[in-house]
Structure 1
Amino acid sequence: MDDFDEDLFEEGDEYLERRYMEEQALLEADDNEGDDGAFRPADASFANVSDQAGSSDNGPACPICSISLKGINEQDAGVHVNNCLDGNPTPLPEPKIPQPPPPVEATTKPEAGIAHPNQFRKPNRAPKPGQASPFTFGQQAGSGGSAFNKLMSGHAEDAAWAEAAASEHASRGKPSYQRTCPFYKILPGLFICVDAFRYGAVEGCQAYFLSHFHSDHYVGLTSSWSHGPIYCSKVTANLVRQQLRVDPKYVVGLEFEQTVDVPGTKGVKMTMISANHCPGSSLFLFEKVVGKKTNGEPRLQRILHCGDFRACRMHVQHPLLIPDVQDQLSGKSKEQKIDVCYLDTTYLNPKYSFPSQENVIKACADMCVSLSKHSVDDSDGWEQMKKQRAGEGMAKFIRKESQPEIKQEPADEGEMEDLKLGKNPHGRGRLLVIVGTYSIGKERICLGIARALNSKIYAPPTKQRIVAALEDPELDALMTSDPRAAQVHMTPLFEIRADTLDDYLKDYFPHFTRAVGFRPSGWNYRPPTSRFTDSPTVQTVLHSENWKSGFSMRDLVPQRGSTSRASCFGVPYSEHSSFRELTMFCCALRIEKIIPTVNVGSKKGRERMKWWCERWLAERRKNGLYKLPEDGSW
């Protein structure tokens, strides 16, 4: 991993989620803070930013423990939230009593007892110029194609990336008006920014797009937003209004697969495509006429912004993305290009060619069904798998100890001792399944396990409020507010650890006597030793059977610290594209230019990603477009 910037990801996806949750919490705290340093309870709260976002009628609340933060200053509130995230909650100081605001100069004197409407309004700041883009889009193909021009453009691109990384590092902790929006969040010539809310108003931007409701994409978007319209899917719009309390007049919820004109952009049309990421996540296809072809036809510039996505057959076969289309007038086939693709490069590293979501969900669901049986059954899949893993000679030991990988620990309560797996003559008791989730995301694995167990799904009230905004009838029907009525529980991903599951189980004992926890993340994946991940050929990645990762119960290994009654599993379930899926996506479509949007802070990481993008382009030129398997696989 010498070529990959893993400093930000050493703890997995949840590390990023926590980092941006903390930043968003402080931004909202600042948004709600008056001149006296105390929160204004009428505005948005901390409750809008976490996986378990709480909403209080009495003012802002801690997103983890839901304690009221009314009257607490920004610094004390931030310390409390961070400590809660680390599992060490600290008491809050006594809240300050807000002092009367200073008098406000006005042309007309307000009536007695009525606050001036501008009393708590922050000053409007002029839009700040974004970073200049090193790219020039919309030119005729082949123009300026000399070796010198290509060399100079390469130097300009490298300099722009270095400048963007340095600016991001220098602006950590600074307010939005002191940040410069990097070029890769601005679509040059289109007057559009995507997922750029932490930079405030960007000069020249007429439309702000939000790809999905994850904190690293909406960070900076608070109730005081007034810089321009926010375009997103209807589900994302629901959450922006509900969780962040953004003024509805700025939030424009759009339908998937409908082409719309974007006001103020001089002719840009946009079509929103499902990103196959989290609920409401979107790919944005922007199209604009930028001149004429040599034959007099209008030349269309087409830019695809992927936000976060998991590439699939649906994307490669989408009518607006497929590489060849039939001309409606002549009936002849013609090429369909994507001039620029802003690509989610979260896992652009050969190490992370993880399995499909379907395989991981099935493996987890099958194990849960097996473990949910009232008594140990040697014929069930989980028992058979354990025998195969350990060898037939270990069968008796496995039956006695249940799992060779899991240490048997004495129960803290006498009655739990009798309920240990394989030692209770009256049965094993009831299994509780705990799945780590984000504010949104990971719903599919929860649904898959719940379907297999014929179970309801429990989440705390604040999480259920988020689920209700997702407009998913099946998920809504399975949700319950009674934790004992559901065998599947949702909890924040960073709270799922082997050493905390036993404590979670105790809260519901003896109704549930055993617990299994899942930490779903692509960072859990480890490639097989037979796979050569050091610079494989593109042909090998695309066609070798060894690169088509599978997953079954046999691959489920409990994490360190698991016990016989509470075991934790890290599973390679991801809502981002794997490395192989990125390779297939970029080799199957006519993409002229790829701009990475993730892991761009490291020069070595950027060079490695650029190297792969160039190899994909060379593969297409040499061997043609990648053709999807005819059997429907991906």
Structure 2
Amino acid sequence: MEDFDEDLYEEGDEFLERKFEEEQARLEAEGDERDYDPVLAEGTPNVKVEDLPTPPADNSPSCPICSVSLTGIDEQEAGLHVNNCLDGNPTPLPERKKPSSPPTAIVKTEYAASADQFRRPVRAPKPGQANPFAFGESSINGGSAFNKLMSGHAEDAAWAEAAAAEHASRGKPAYQRTCPFYKILPGLFICVDAFRYGAVQGCQAYFLSHFHSDHYIGLTSSWSHGPIYCSHVTANLVRQQLRVDPKYVVDLEFEQPIEVPGTRGVKVTMIPANHCPGSSLYLFEKVVGKKTNGEPRLQRILHCGDFRACRAHIEHPLLMPEVQDKISGKTREQKIDVCYLDTTYLNPKYAFPSQQTVIKACAEMCVSLSKHSVDESDGWEQMKRRRAGEGMVKFVRKESNSEIKEEPADDDAEADGMKLLANPDASQQVLCTKDTPSAQDGRGRLLVVVGTYSIGKERICLGIAKALNSKIYAPPSKMRIVSALEDPELNARMTGDPRAAQVHMTPLFEIRAETLDDYLKDYFPHFTRAVGFRPSGWNYRPPTSRFLESPSIASVLNGDNWKSIYSMKDLVPQRGSTSRASCFGVPYSEHSSFRELTMFCCALKIEKVIPTVNVGSAKGRERMKGWIERWAQEKRKSGLWKLPEDGSW
């Protein structure tokens, strides 16, 4: 973990999600990141309500701050009084004079002046950080539109400057922030996921990759800096959740190229990112000159936002390294000049398994535990017997269990006619009341609680619900978000009745072993046992047989030991789990694993890779730069990596 910021990631993705949500709520409460006249915010609190005179009962002119009547006061004195009130130092009014003109004239003049005091200043767009890349029409040797880097020192200096500026600007409003170079596409007049910096000089189009708060933070209901381009699902959420004026939101369709207005000919194609619903990769293309044969030279930039690389990306007709001309039948090279890469898990430690295998393991365990009586022939019971035979008794008997502890008697529960009974035929305890059958008659009904983000992790909920043939419950706020996703299969499973669904969605950062039992009690006796899942790539633990210090790229790509598997035997309850409420951390991620990043970059013809995550640490940037260079060396040595013909990934 040397190349990660330990304090930043110690709680995992859910910690970041909560941090950014809290910051976004603060920005919304303050209004457009405090981009208003600071005099009002600082001066007004100094005026005590009890010290203010009673406002006039008629329609005569009055001070808009303290409400004192301005009848008989000339315009200059009235203006001085209002300005002093705005500064928090109200002054007494001079002796009143008879008005020489109708009061309405003073009202109009005075309120026009005070309205200007409340109007937010129009701030000029701020220049972004200078880019360390040289952008030209073409190079002397016919290279790509992105020429060589100015120098290694210039690039390192730019990264250091960006990291220092980001650190120094924490908590500051947008107009005091400088947009870092890696969020600005040079020469294209486009920024991606850069809303926290306000208006960026020269930017004509603002792209949003997906609706996660660390990417949209700064995007509030008062946004007016330019058009926001995103997928239809993301646009639904931007309008619904953030209340951004719809005139600034531009819905894009996947796989449909469009020309971006104001960018001098830039075309963009949106590709599914395989991250959360509505998440997008953006392929930007611009003609920057001509080849020696007279054909147009395209500058091609791929921005990945957050994504989980898969076969569909490598086989995508706009990304694959070679394409066949439909007319001539000839094969031509297709390269990506620059790729802005999601490097969340660019560390050999995180070569976690596929989503499908994790979902399958969780679903199979839930199906087994959901049976009212124990079936010794099912997979979960067989797995427990194998563990017992191997001496790994973590989930078999309470007497020898170090992970699952026996619950003490609950005096309050006994008083309510609720008691804890042990089922002699099962590895779980059950709750029993006077109104429910005895424990010996069965294990009762299982509740499955899955941690999710405001958007994300829906696939694992749906997979478990399909296996259990169950509805999915979510609280009203999550239900509104799910409805905006426009997913017919998911919508058909959703319900607002928690007792009608065996699978519940809950915020990821709220689900812990110690809170799961309290959650279960809220629905007792309808549910008597609970299993919780915390899906995150940070839960993954690599096998001890895997060499992690500096593995060869060839072994990562082709070695069987790097093809991570996952099954029920890998499900181990977290500390604090009990026999009636067990919580499991599962390595289900919506970001690319280390091996998937390696396969993605080694299978495609990419000239330059720019990391976008974990870039705040010099050591982290150096480690990531080392892996990117090793990918390039492997491609020069062995050529582009080929996908397995058997369809595996």
Distance 1:207 1:402, change over 3 A: farther
Measured in 2, the distance between the counterparts of 1:129 and 1:112 equals 37
User: 2:18: which partner in 1?
Assistant: 18
Out of 440, 456, 461, the residue aligned to residue 476 of structure 2 is 461
Pair 628,113 (structure 1): closer, same or farther in 2 beyond 3 Å: same
Change over 3 Å in CA distance of 1:430–1:283 after alignment to 2: same
Q: Deviations over 1:8-56 (max 9, x none)?
A: 11110011111111211111111088989999xxxxxxxxxxxxxxxxx
Q: Does 2:370 correspond to 1:372?
A: yes
Q: Retained in 2: the 8 A contact 1:403–1:564?
A: no
Match of 1:228 among 226, 229, 233: 226
Cross-structure match for 1:610: 625
Partner of 2:153: 155
Q: Single out whichever of 383-392 and 523-532 deviates more from structure 2.
A: 383-392
The one-letter code sitting in structure 2 at the alignment partner of 1:418 is L
- Please tell me whether the aligned partners of residues 110 and 116 of structure 1 are also in contact (alpha carbons under 8 angstroms): no
- Counterpart selection for 1:439 from 454, 458, 470: 454
Match of 2:466 among 448, 451, 463: 451
Matched residue, 2:276 = 278
* 2:416 equivalent to 1:418: no
Task: Give the secondary structure class of the aligned counterpart of 1:387.
Answer: helix
Alignment of 1:126 onto 2:128: no
Q: CA deviation at 1:569?
A: 0.5
Aligned to 1:214: 212
1:298 aligned residue: 296
**Residue in structure 2 matched with residue 198 of structure 1 by the alignment:** 196
Paired residues for 1:87-106 under 5 Å? none
Map of 2:133 onto structure 1: 135
Q: Residues 76-99 of structure 1: CA distance to partner in whole angstroms, max 9, x if unpaired?
A: xxxxxxxxxxxxxxxxxxxxxx98
Check whether the contact 1:212–1:281 (CA below 8 A) recurs between aligned residues. Answer: yes
Cα separation, 1, equivalents of 2:22 and 2:474:
22
- Of residues 250, 267, 270, the one that matches 1:269 is 267
CA displacement at 1:390 relative to structure 2: 2.5
2:30 corresponds in structure 1 to 30
Amino acid of the structure 1 residue aligned with 2:530: A
- Per-residue deviation, 1:411: 4.5
2:506 equivalent in structure 1: 491
State the identity %.
Answer: 78
More displaced stretch, 323-332 vs 379-388 = 323-332
**2:286/2:298 contact within 8 Å kept:** yes
Match of 1:181 among 179, 182, 199: 179
2: CA distance between counterparts of 1:138 and 1:329?
31
Name the CA shift for 1:142/1:439 in 2 (closer, same or farther; >3 Å): farther
1:550 equivalent in structure 2: 565
Question: Matches of 1:216 and 1:6 in 2, distance apart?
Answer: 18
What number of residue pairs does the alignment pair up? 574
Please say if residues 211 and 455 of structure 2, whose CA atoms lie closer than 8 Å, have aligned partners that are also in contact.
yes
Structure 1 stretch displaced more, 413-422 or 310-319 = 413-422
Distance 2:389 2:346 in 1: 37
- The 2-side partners of 1:168 and 1:132 are apart by 15
Q: Name the CA distance, whole Å, in 1 between partners of 2:171 and 2:639.
A: 47
Partner SS for 1:469: helix
Paired amino acid for 1:348 = L
Q: 1:396 to 1:286 in 2, by over 3 A?
A: closer
Worse overlay, 377-386 or 314-323: 377-386
Change (3 A) 1:178 1:143: farther
Aligned-partner Cα distance in 2 for 1:519–1:103: 57
What is the RMSD of the two structures over their aligned residues, measured on CA atoms? 2.9
8 Å contact from structure 1 (residues 195, 209) kept in 2:
yes
1:2 alignment partner, SS class: coil
**Does 120-129 or 600-609 show the bigger shift?**
120-129
SS in 1 for 2:284: strand
Letter in 2 for 1:555: D
- What are the equivalent positions in structure 2 for 1:384-533 lying under 5 Å apart? 384-391=382-389, 398=396, 405-412=403-410, 413-414=413-414, 415-418=418-421, 421=428, 424-533=439-548
**Contact 1:419 / 1:429 at 8 angstroms: preserved in 2?**
no
The answer to whether residue 580 in structure 2 is matched with residue 582 in structure 1 is no
Which one-letter code corresponds to 1:286 in the other structure? F
- TM-score normalised by L of structure 2: 0.83
- Consecutive aligned runs of 4 or more in structure 1 exceeding 4 Å deviation: 32-39, 98-121, 141-145, 149-152, 392-397, 399-404
- Structure 1 CA distance for aligned equivalents of residues 429 and 584 of structure 2: 20
Q: After superposition, where does 1:105-116 map in structure 2 within 5 Å? A: none
Task: Judge conservation of contact 2:162–2:180 (CA < 8 Å) in 1.
Answer: yes
Task: Output the TM-score relative to the length of structure 1.
Answer: 0.85
Q: Which shows bigger deviation, 98-107 or 582-591?
A: 98-107
Tell me which residue corresponds to 2:583. Answer: 568
Unaligned stretches of 5+ in structure 1? 40-72, 74-97
User: Could you tell me which residue of structure 1 aligns to residue 89 of structure 2?
Assistant: none
Other structure's SS at 1:352 match: coil
Amino acid paired to 2:197: Y
- What do residues 532-564 of structure 1 show as CA deviations (whole Å, max 9, x unaligned)? 011100000000000000000000000000000
Cα gap change, 1:239/1:99 in structure 2, threshold over 3 Å: closer, same or farther?
Answer: farther
Q: Secondary structure at the match of 2:630?
A: helix
Give the direction of change, closer, same or farther, for the CA distance of 1:328–1:392 in structure 2 (3 Å limit). Answer: closer
Partner SS state of residue 153, structure 2: helix
Q: Which amino acid aligns with 1:279?
A: P
Question: How far apart, in 1, do the equivalents of 2:161 and 2:354 lie?
Answer: 37
- In the TM superposition, what are the counterparts of 1:34-49 in structure 2 within 5 Å? none
Shift of 1:329: 4.0
Q: Deviations over 1:489-528 (max 9, x none)?
A: 1111000111110111111111111111110000000100
Amino acid at match of 1:243: Q
Aligned AA for 2:522?
D
Structure 2: give runs of 5+ residues left out of the alignment. 46-64, 69-80, 87-103, 431-438
The alpha-carbon distance between structure 1 residues 360 and 450, as it changes in their structure 2 partners (threshold 3 A), is same
The structure-2 alpha-carbon separation of the partners of 1:557 and 1:100, relative to structure 1 and needing over 3 Å to count, comes to farther
Contact 1:36 1:99 in 2 (8 A): no
- Do the aligned residues in 2 keep the contact of 1:387 with 1:394 (CA within 8 Å)? no
Does the 8 Å CA contact 2:132/2:149 hold for their aligned counterparts? no
Report the CA distance between 1:330 and its aligned residue: 2.8
For the pair shown, the structure with the greater C-alpha radius of gyration is: 2
Amino acid at match of 2:267: K
CA distance change for structure 1 residues 426 and 200 in 2, over 3 Å: closer, same or farther? same
User: Residues of 1 paired with 2:608 and 2:569: CA distance?
Assistant: 41
- Measured in 1, the distance between the counterparts of 2:460 and 2:114 equals 51
Instruction: Give the partner amino acid of 2:493.
Output: L
Which whole-Å CA distance do the structure 2 matches of 1:163 and 1:397 have between them?
A: 51
Aligned to 2:245: 247
Q: Which residue of 2 aligns with 1:3?
A: 3
Contact kept in structure 2, 1:270 and 1:285, CA below 8 Å: yes
Query: Which whole-Å CA distance do the structure 2 matches of 1:99 and 1:481 have between them?
Result: 48
Which residue number corresponds to residue 349 of structure 2? 351
Q: Secondary structure at the match of 2:127?
A: coil
Check conservation: 1:419, 1:513, Cα contact below 8 A. no
Greater Cα offset, 389-398 or 323-332? 389-398
Assess, with a 3 A threshold, how the Cα gap between structure 1 residues 619 and 408 changes in structure 2: closer, same or farther. Answer: same
CA distance in 2, matches of 1:520, 1:379: 28
What is the DSSP-based 3-state SS (H/G/I as helix, E as strand, rest coil) of the residue aligned with 2:440?
coil
